Amino acid sequence: MSMSQSYTALRPEFKEALKEAAKNFQTPFYAYDLQTVLERIDRLQKAFPGGEIFYAMKANPRLGILRRLLQWGLFVEAVSLGEVYRAYKAGFQRNEVLLNGPVKTPAMLEELDRIGIPILGLDSLTDLRRVIRMLPRARAILRVNPDLPIATHEHLATGRGESKFGILPEEVEQALELARRSRLEVLGLHVHLGSALEHLEDYQAGYAVMDRLYRTHGPFQVINLGGGFGLGLDLGELGAQAMALAHQHKVELWLEPGRYLVAEAGVLVTRTWGVKRTRRNYLLIDAGMSQLIRPMLYGATHPVEPLYKNPVMETYDLAGPACESGDVLARDVTLPEPKEGDLLAILQAGAYASSMSSNYLDTPRPAELLWTDQGWELIRRQQRWEALLEDEQ
């Protein structure tokens, strides 16, 4: 419906089910199609046969989703203590959780010692020294900053030399030497080039850096090639190259996809509440930056599908309810002219939508629903108004 971008349309059964759900749940709400998640896992496993998938739970950390991924044999990647608590609560074991992240405070390491130390992704020499001191028997991987001109939004290009992530290639020797003098077990090196990557060349350049490092500093047990797969990326060719790299260095291949597995499975359902013309043509909707920050944060575009019909078409910007000029979820969307209360599905909202949502303007977090083909499961109820106040005096 919207823009020139191509996208995968919703499954008709799911689309019908959304209309039913809207009879029982207040908009806006998030809804996820479990079959689409399964299908994306299948695609990934076919492209990277034998690769170990650590799902990046920051994309969507709902327990109702994590528990399914656990049943299907996936592991998880976490980046905060909160995510580790959540992963353990979902049932993952410590060797099934990989904790990355650039800052691990002493308090956090103490707590990990108490609740069970996951595999640690170490991000700097400081991080490494602190872990050697406080959790000397941990198992770890070292994150490398490949120092490459990655093509994606600046906030998503973690593999650029100027980003805050990883150890530069020239520091790897020193880091490994530090680790060798300790009891820490370094399983291998890790690279995560960025997010929403659409160009194979970025990965090829990243893999070439890893190849050089493995030749120079190997042998290792594992190679972690991160996540970041854009929704339009050709996984077939990429998978073959990743597998070849892993075979060549006789290591296990680890991956950390987030968006790819869940983005297209999810929608944000919102109702339209009238049209307003300034120098632009706005359709007023009841969802905005509190539920979907990506357009504002990254200039991300989300396709939009109407859940109503009208032969008369019109082009709108979708204006959210916040008092912020940036609170516009999509621009220049051509839609059938809506009546008040008609429903829109904002697509590709399964990743980094709910997980990045906020209570800005005392907006309660919406309900989240999972469609299993047997019916709807409420995996998170709408936040209660009282919950917004309960931590205050």
Helix (H) or strand (E) holding 174: helix 172-180
Report the relative pairing of strands 119-122 and 97-99 from DSSP bridges. Answer: parallel
290 touching ligand PLP, by CB under 6 A: no
Query: Using CA atoms, how far apart are residues 244 and 241, in angstroms rounded to an integer?
Result: 5
Q: Which is nearer to ligand PLP, 256 or 327 (CB)?
A: 256
257 touching ligand PLP, by CB under 6 A: yes
Min dist CB 355 to ligand PLP, Å, is: 10
61 touching ligand PLP, by CB under 6 A: no
104 touching ligand PLP, by CB under 6 A: no
Query: Using CA atoms, how far apart are residues 346 and 270, in angstroms rounded to an integer?
Result: 8
Find the binder of ligand PLP among 40, 86, 249, 259 (CB under 6 A): 259
- Residues 127-156 as x/- pattern, contact with ligand PLP by CB under 6 A: ------------------------------
Query: Which residue's Cβ lies closest to ligand PLP?
Result: 258
* Ranges of H-type helices in 218-359: 235-248, 259-262, 294-298
Report the relative pairing of strands 313-319 and 328-336 from DSSP bridges. Answer: antiparallel
256 touching ligand PLP, by CB under 6 A: yes
Residues in region 72-101 near ligand PLP by CB under 6 A: 77, 100
60 touching ligand PLP, by CB under 6 A: no
Find the binder of ligand PLP among 59, 66, 140, 265 (CB under 6 A): 59
CA angle 238, 239, 243 (to 5 degrees): 120
Min dist CB 194 to ligand PLP, Å, is: 7
Q: Which is nearer to ligand PLP, 7 or 260 (CB)?
A: 260
Residues tagged active-site: 323
Q: Which is nearer to ligand PLP, 258 or 295 (CB)?
A: 258
159 touching ligand PLP, by CB under 6 A: no
- Residues 335-354 as x/- pattern, contact with ligand PLP by CB under 6 A: ----------------x---
End-to-end CA, the chain: 47
Single-letter amino acid, residue 250 = K
Query: Using CA atoms, how far apart are residues 265 and 69, in angstroms rounded to an integer?
Result: 14
Helix (H) or strand (E) holding 20: helix 12-24
* Ranges of H-type helices in the chain: 12-24, 34-47, 63-71, 81-90, 106-115, 125-134, 172-180, 200-217, 235-248, 259-262, 294-298, 385-389
Residue 114 C-alpha from the chain's centroid: 28
Query: Using CA atoms, how far apart are residues 335 and 310, in angstroms rounded to an integer?
Result: 9
- How many residues sit close enough to ligand PLP to count as binding (CB under 6 A)? 18
Length of the chain: 393
Tokens of 302: 């989300």
* Ranges of H-type helices in 80-123: 81-90, 106-115
Nearest Cα residue to 141 out of 43, 33, 253: 253
- Residues 216-255 as x/- pattern, contact with ligand PLP by CB under 6 A: ----------xxxx--------------------------
166 touching ligand PLP, by CB under 6 A: no
163 touching ligand PLP, by CB under 6 A: no
Residues in region 180-199 near ligand PLP by CB under 6 A: 192, 195-196
260 touching ligand PLP, by CB under 6 A: yes
Which residues in this chain contact ligand PLP in the complex, by CB under 6 A?
Answer: 56, 59, 77, 100, 158, 192, 195-196, 226-229, 256-260, 351
